[in-house]
A and B are shown apart, each in its own frame.
Chain A
């Protein structure tokens, strides 16, 4: 409804979702991407990446997440992507080197607030709980 205000009293009533474009991520280094994701998730936000991370970045995301887990504060992340990456827009060099494109929508959230209900090649259904 145009002009209607959301029925919330403050940030504590809702769940913030950051949808980050591929263009925004493109200019960042691997570590900057991981920091951007983890800073958002540690604040309790859900982060949606338009184009996902490379396998190496995913590996480092797991590694850095592990170093930041602490009892009663941060228990880690829940991350979901579609099972199969779209492999239609590979460059010649990527094909030669056997690299897969990383363009896959990715949802990341705090492990204690996001639960995957269903996932297949075309649908990711998640339940997000309040703090």
Chain B
């Protein structure tokens, strides 16, 4: 198996070199709803371009369309990586408009939001199969990571041979459990952070440059 892995890696390195260009890499920010994807996308965009990507909210599916921030140039340890950030809607296998009613949203608006959310998730899945060069997978470190959506998405990302950086977000909360995230996906490195408070962003940027540069 080691020989096969080495052979595959060698082929991958050669093809990567052949097709390398100065074009920005499209990095998709994926994860379940309410993991803090937009907060992270805004944090990265503000730190390196001064602009935000989109509105943040505690209501699930606030991001209902993939949003893109182009040409975000991140410099780390003499290494520069130019990326387009694609903030995607939280992936799920179910959307019930009645969940929006719990957030004081009237039925008409809730139905509209749920329809937009389903379209957004479908679009995010399409992006993942066709249009991203790497993935930042954001998880809420206060919740159980052993969900089917997480298992399936990591499997899909791995099957596409995309580089993936797993971030355990919301470390500012007392119930944060980064070890649980690391245990769920031991085949990948897990980086803790609080996108809201900006904690450990230095390491996040170092890893972005390392993984996607």
Contact = CB atoms under 8 A, between A and B. Distances in A.
B118 A62 contact: no
Nearest to B118: A66
Given A55-B155, A55-B158, A66-B118, A96 B4 contact: yes
B109 interface: no
B94 interface: yes
Contact of A71 (B97, B122, B151): B97
Contacts of A55: 152, 155-156, 158-160
B94 A75 contact: yes
Nearest to A55: B159
B155 A76 contact: no
B61 to A, nearest CB: 12
B159 A66 contact: no
A66 B149 CA distance: 14
Interface residues of A, number: 33
Contact of B93 (A67, A79, A119): A79
Given A76-B93, A95-B4, A111-B96, A59 B129 contact: yes
A69 B129 contact: no
Nearest to B184: A83
A34 interface: no
A56 interface: yes
Contacts of B1: 95
B106 to A, nearest CB: 13
Contacts, number: 92
Given A55-B156, A56-B156, A112 B96 contact: yes
A108 B97 CA distance: 21
A60 B4 CA distance: 29
B122 A63 contact: yes
Given A79-B148, A83-B151, A96-B4, A69 B125 contact: no
A39 B129 CA distance: 24
Contacts of A54: 159
A98 interface: yes
B51 interface: no
Contacts of A76: 92-96
Interface string B12-44: 000000000000000000000000000000000
B121 interface: yes
Given A81-B148, A95-B1, A56 B129 contact: yes
Interface string B155-192: 11011110000000000000000000000000000000
Contacts of B94: 65, 69, 75-78, 111
9 contacts: A54-B159, A58-B156, A59-B125, A59-B152, A62-B93, A69-B118, A76-B93, A78-B94, A98-B161
Smallest CB-CB A-B distances: 7 pairs: A76-B94, A111-B94, A55-B159, A66-B122, A66-B118, A75-B96, A63-B125
Interface of B: 1, 4-5, 7-8, 91-97, 111, 114-115, 118-119, 121-122, 125-126, 128-129, 146, 148, 151-152, 155-156, 158-161
Interface of A: 54-56, 58-60, 62-67, 69, 71, 75-81, 83, 85, 95-100, 111-112, 116, 119
